[in-house]
A and B are shown apart, each in its own frame.
Chain A
Amino acid sequence: MHQRLRAFLSGLLIIAVSRPLGAQHALVIDVGLAGAHFPDDNVSAGGPYLRLTGSAMTSQLFGSYDAGAITSIGSASGYGSVRAGIRTGLTPGWNAEVATELSAVAGSNHNGAAGTALLGGRATWTSLGWGGWLHADTHSSGRTNATLLGSGADAGLWASWSQLQISATVLHEATRAELFAGRFRTGFLGTVPVNYSEGSIAVHVEGDRTSFDGSASLRRDPDATKLWETSSLASLAVWAGDQFAFVFTAARQLPDWVRGADAAESFSVGMRFRQPTPERARALRVMPYVLLTDDADPRAFRVRAAGARTLEVMGDFTDWEARPLVRAGSVFDLGAKLTSGVHRLLVRVDGGAWRAAVNTPVVDDEFGGKVGLLVVP
C-alpha cells in the first residue's frame, strides 16, 4: 500500500505546481479529480483531491500556505506547506528578503512521511514592468531512512505586461538522495549525492475570464539515466462565475530532490473557488498614481493607471461624489485643478473597490476605513 500512498503524495505536489502565477488571495479552494503515472515504479493512481492555498503580505512581511489532501479507496494522504519571510529595502529598486519554508507529507501509512525545512535569502531588483532576483537556500529533509542536507541557488528574470507575464530561471542544486535496491523504496542502501543544474521558462497569459499557465524546463543531471531531462506543465482556467473557475492541468514533472516528490506524468480536472476573474485581478493589480507635477499645470489632477479601462475619483474636491476621469492612454484626467493644501481622496479602477492611490499615504478615515492623503503644492 505504501507505494500507492507515495504516489498520491507526489500527485499532490503535481497539483501544487498548477497554481497560477502571481495569485495573492487569502484563501483559494481547489477540488477535483487527479490521476498520475509514476515511471520510476511504473504505477498509476488517482482520486479526488482538495487543496487550500493562500498568501498575504504587508510592506515588509509576507507569507503563504498550501495544504491539500487526496483520497482513494482505503487510504488518504495530506500535504502541508507554510512559507514566511521578511523583506527590507536596500536602495530604491533593490530589496532583500529572508524566508523559511516548512513542508510535510503524511499518510495513513507512515512509509510516506517526509518533512523538509528550508531557509533562504533573496535579493530582488524591480523596475517598471520587469525585474530579477538572486536566491540561495539551505535545507534539511527528514525521510524514512535518513536526514538529507543540501543547498541550492537560483537566479531569474521576469517581465510583466497587462495580460502576459514571462519568467526565466536558472538554478543549481546540491543535495542528497536515498538509495534503494528495489522498487517502491525497498532495500535501503544509504544515501548518495545529487547535483544538477536546471533552466526553466514560464509564461502566464490571460483574457478577461480565462488564463493559461505554461512552463518548460531542461535539467542536466550527470547521475541520471539521461544526462538531459525535460519537464513541462500546462494549465487552463476558465471562469464560470466571478470567483469560480474550471481548471484543467497536465504536467510532466521531474523528481523534486529537495521535498521528496517522485517524477510523474499527471492530469487533473477540477474547480477553483474564491479566485477572482483575471479581469478583476488586473484591476486590483493596477497601480493608480496621482500626477500633480506637470510643469505647465502643476495642480491639474491626473492619474497614471497603466492597464486600467476606467478610473473614478472621489474626495473632498468632488464633494465626495464619484467623478469619472477622461482617459488619454494610460493617463486619466479629471479636468479640474486642486487648491494648495491637503486633500483626502479615493480612486476606483474598472468599477472595483474604492482604494487609495499608490502614492497617497493612507490614513484612517474615522469611519472604519482608509483614505488617501494628497498634498498639493
Chain B
Amino acid sequence: MTRVFRAALVVALTLMATSTARAQQVAYAATVMTELDSATQAALSREINAALGRGLPAEPLLAKVREGRSKQASATLIRNAVHSLTRRLDSARVALGAMSTVEELTAGAVAIAEGADLSSLRAVRAATNRSIAAPLGTLAQLLGSRVEEKKAVAMIVGLLQRSASPAHLVALGNLVEGDVASGLRPEEAALFRLRGIEASLSFGDKAELSAPTGVGPPSTGTSTQKPQRRP
C-alpha cells in the first residue's frame, strides 16, 4: 500500500512539475511576444500551445520568435518561421520517438531543414542509446556541406557503432565543412576526414579539432632616330 501511495505521489508530483513548467513556458512566451501585434501574438500563442499539447518543446519555438524579433523581421515572417519549425519538430519527433530530448528534437529539426529524410534520423537513433543531439547536428552539417545523404548517414552510424564520442562526430562535421569551404569535393573531404577519425579511434586518441629604347633591326632610313620597340 505504501509503495502504491509513493508511486501515486511521484506521478502527481511529476504531473505538477510538468504543469508548472508548461505554465512557466506559457508565461515566458507572453513576455517574448509583448512587442508583437495582438493578431500575431494570438496566432503564435495558438501555434505554441498546440505544439505543447502535442508534446513538443516550447523552447525552440520561443527562441525562433526571439530571433525574428532581434532581426526585426515582419510578423508574417515570424509566424511562418515558427510554423515551419513546428512542422519540422513534429517530423523529428515522429522519427526519433516521444522520449526524445529537446536537444535531440532541435537537432533533428535542423537536420530536416538541411534535407535529411526521416529514415536517416531513425537510422541514427537506432545506432546508439546515447544522446544523438550532436550526431544529428553533424548530419545537418554534412548535408549542408553537400555530402550525399546516404554516405553521411553511413559515416555517422559507423562512428557511433564504434563508440565514437560526440567530440569525434562534431570534429568530422567541422573538418569537412572547412575542407569543402576551401574547395575540396564533399565526398573526398568526408572520406578523408572519416579515415583520420577512424584511425584516431583505433589508437585511442582524441579527435584533432581541431619603353625603353632598344636595339632592333637596321633603320629603314625613314627617320634619323634609332628604332624603338614599343609596348
Chain B residues contacting A258 (CB-CB under 8 Å) are: 231
> Which candidate, A47-55, A72-80, A203-211, A363-371, is the interface stretch facing chain B?
A363-371
Give min CB distance, B132 to chain A, whole Å. Answer: 10
Pairwise interchain contact B212-A255, C-beta atoms closer than 8 A? yes
> Which candidate, B18-26, B116-124, B163-171, is the interface stretch facing chain A?
B163-171
Instruction: Give the docked Cα–Cα distance between A224 and B210 (Å).
Output: 54
Pairwise interchain contact A192-B216, C-beta atoms closer than 8 A? yes
**CB-nearest residue of chain B to A88:** B183
Chain A residues contacting B89 (CB-CB under 8 Å) are: none
Q: Does A241 contact B (CB under 8 A)?
A: no
Instruction: Give the docked Cα–Cα distance between A225 and B228 (Å).
Output: 10
One digit per residue, 1 when the CB lies within 8 angstroms of any chain A CB and 0 when it does not, for chain B 150-185 equals: 000000000000000111011001100111111110
Residue from A179, A319, A367 with most neighbouring chain B CB atoms (10 Å): A367
Residues of A at the B interface (CB closer than 8 Å) are 40, 59-60, 87-89, 92, 95, 177-183, 185-187, 189-190, 192, 194, 221, 223-226, 229, 254-263, 292-293, 295, 298, 314, 316, 319-321, 339-342, 344, 359, 361, 363, 365-369, 371, 373, 375-377
Chain B residues contacting A292 (CB-CB under 8 Å) are: 170, 209
Give min CB distance, B211 to chain A, whole Å. Answer: 4
Residue from A226, A373, A377 with most neighbouring chain B CB atoms (10 Å): A377
What are 19 sample pairs from A and B whose C-beta atoms fall under 8 A apart? A92-B179, A95-B183, A177-B229, A179-B216, A180-B227, A180-B228, A182-B222, A185-B230, A316-B66, A340-B133, A341-B106, A341-B137, A363-B114, A365-B71, A368-B77, A371-B67, A375-B174, A377-B134, A377-B169
Give min CB distance, A223 to chain B, whole Å. Answer: 4
Instruction: Give the docked Cα–Cα distance between A254 and B211 (Å).
Output: 7
**CB-nearest residue of chain A to B60:** A316
**Known contacts A40-B228, A181-B227; A60 and B103 CB within 8 A of each other:** no
Give min CB distance, A3 to chain B, whole Å. Answer: 11
Instruction: Give the docked Cα–Cα distance between A293 and B184 (Å).
Output: 24
Q: Chain B contact residues: over half helix, strand or loop, or mixed?
A: helix
Pairwise interchain contact A368-B230, C-beta atoms closer than 8 A? no
Chain B residues contacting A187 (CB-CB under 8 Å) are: 220, 222-223, 227
Number of B residues with CB within 8 Å of any CB on chain A: 68
Pairwise interchain contact B141-A361, C-beta atoms closer than 8 A? yes
Pairwise interchain contact B231-A340, C-beta atoms closer than 8 A? no
Instruction: Give the docked Cα–Cα distance between A303 and B166 (Å).
Output: 20
Pairwise interchain contact B231-A257, C-beta atoms closer than 8 A? yes
**CB-nearest residue of chain B to A367:** B73
Instruction: Give the docked Cα–Cα distance between A373 and B107 (Å).
Output: 10
Chain B residues contacting A185 (CB-CB under 8 Å) are: 230
Instruction: Give the docked Cα–Cα distance between A190 and B225 (Å).
Output: 16
The one of A40, A87, A259, A359 in contact with B230, judged by C-beta atoms closer than 8 angstroms, is A40
Give min CB distance, A113 to chain B, whole Å. Answer: 14
The one of A179, A194, A260 in contact with B227, judged by C-beta atoms closer than 8 angstroms, is A179
Give min CB distance, B231 to chain A, whole Å. Answer: 4
Give min CB distance, A35 to chain B, whole Å. Answer: 19
Instruction: Give the docked Cα–Cα distance between A375 and B131 (Å).
Output: 13
Q: Which of B98-142 contact A (CB under 8 A)?
A: 103-104, 106-107, 110, 113-114, 131, 133-134, 136-138, 140-141
Chain A residues contacting B63 (CB-CB under 8 Å) are: 316, 319-320, 344
Instruction: Give the docked Cα–Cα distance between A174 and B198 (Å).
Output: 51
